[in-house]
Structure 1
């Protein structure tokens, strides 16, 4: 198990140059925005406009802070994502136009390369203990509100992350209602993380 902290995350410009992204984790290690199998990041959206396009990529967006964002994907009916909305998955290789509901937002982005990897993002809320990890996929847990690792007592704060290999599990503990995102990453070709 690996615990990751925001101070260690990598900051870089958006692919389209119109903002900044903070990379939490990427596979393979040191992959670029052109050749990753999967990538997890956060970003702040401060104005309306098009999203960066990523060939062959599926993307899941979740609003973390702010009022919300409206996404129009490939000319389809707009979808509004709010902080309490379910994670929204869409192809990242089609035109996507974003419009802020009000003020800037921050979001969590999970991207995986079609044919190489698939992903699933779940919001999980608990008020005592929660087991995280999977027998079939690598799992990253993104902390949204404070909790602890049950067996070590290590405190986890906003946007800390836990990376668990396939088959690896751990328990989180909280004294009040707490939310995390669990991200399951399924590689479809032989690879080790």
Structure 2
């Protein structure tokens, strides 16, 4: 199996948003090319701008956020993936109280990010970087059916750097619980954009 790091989500120190208006935990990053993080949005206000970047967001806890910029509107709702332009000056309005958001930010046309909920087994192809957020349910990762799986416990995350071989990720077949980061495991894949 390719290099895998497993950490407790709560062990990652909080940092301040680029605009200083909130806090975030960076789970994985590749310089300024891409970043996967969990942000706490506790009040209405401006979102940080990221010129030349694509943003994907998923509400893990809370009712949602509406982003507005002039006539543009983007709604972030629980467990749905929203994609939007990082260079836009978005102003956020909370739907009904604070939210916890999984954010993926990548250089446009350089990387292609995807985020999906893990409701069943998924095979991640070789050549990509994968981040598994085991929020609410434990997961297992194995390089083949013969290999011993590596466990990712509840409220941990795993980073598989530039996979040399495909990896099968499976959530445990039990109901999850909200330990603070949602109940549904998520898989983030960062891969080079095709030319």
Q: TM-score range by the shorter chain?
A: 0.7 to 0.9
The aligned counterpart of 2:86 is: 92
Out of 3, 23, 27, the residue aligned to residue 24 of structure 1 is 27
Matched, 1:75 2:80: no
Structure 1 spans left out of the alignment, 5+ residues: none
Cα shift readout 1:49-88 (whole Å, capped 9, x = no counterpart)? 1100011111001101111111224631x3332213x210
Query: Are the aligned partners of 1:73 and 1:90 in contact in 2 as well (CA < 8 Å)?
Result: no
Deviation (angstroms), 1:162: 1.8
Matches for 1:73-152 after TM superposition, within 5 Å: 73=69, 75-76=71-72, 78-84=73-79, 86-126=80-120, 130-149=121-140, 151-152=148-149
Matches for 1:180-191 after TM superposition, within 5 Å: 180-188=185-193
Give the superposed CA RMSD: 2.2
Distance 1:8 1:132, change over 3 A: farther
Looking at structure 1, the residues matched to 171 and 78 of structure 2 have their Cα atoms a distance apart, in angstroms, of 23
SS in 2 for 1:154: strand
Query: Are the aligned partners of 2:40 and 2:98 in contact in 1 as well (CA < 8 Å)?
Result: yes
Deviation (angstroms), 1:173: 4.5
Out of 2, 5, 9, the residue aligned to residue 8 of structure 2 is 5
Looking at structure 2, the residues matched to 74 and 186 of structure 1 have their Cα atoms a distance apart, in angstroms, of 32
Query: How many residues end up aligned between the 2 structures?
Result: 176
Query: Are the aligned partners of 2:119 and 2:171 in contact in 1 as well (CA < 8 Å)?
Result: no
The aligned counterpart of 1:39 is: 35
Looking at structure 1, the residues matched to 75 and 109 of structure 2 have their Cα atoms a distance apart, in angstroms, of 28
Deviation (angstroms), 1:133: 2.0
Runs of 4+ residues over 4 Å off in structure 1: none
Matched, 1:154 2:151: yes
SS in 2 for 1:125: coil
Distance 1:80 1:114, change over 3 A: closer
Deviation (angstroms), 1:155: 5.0
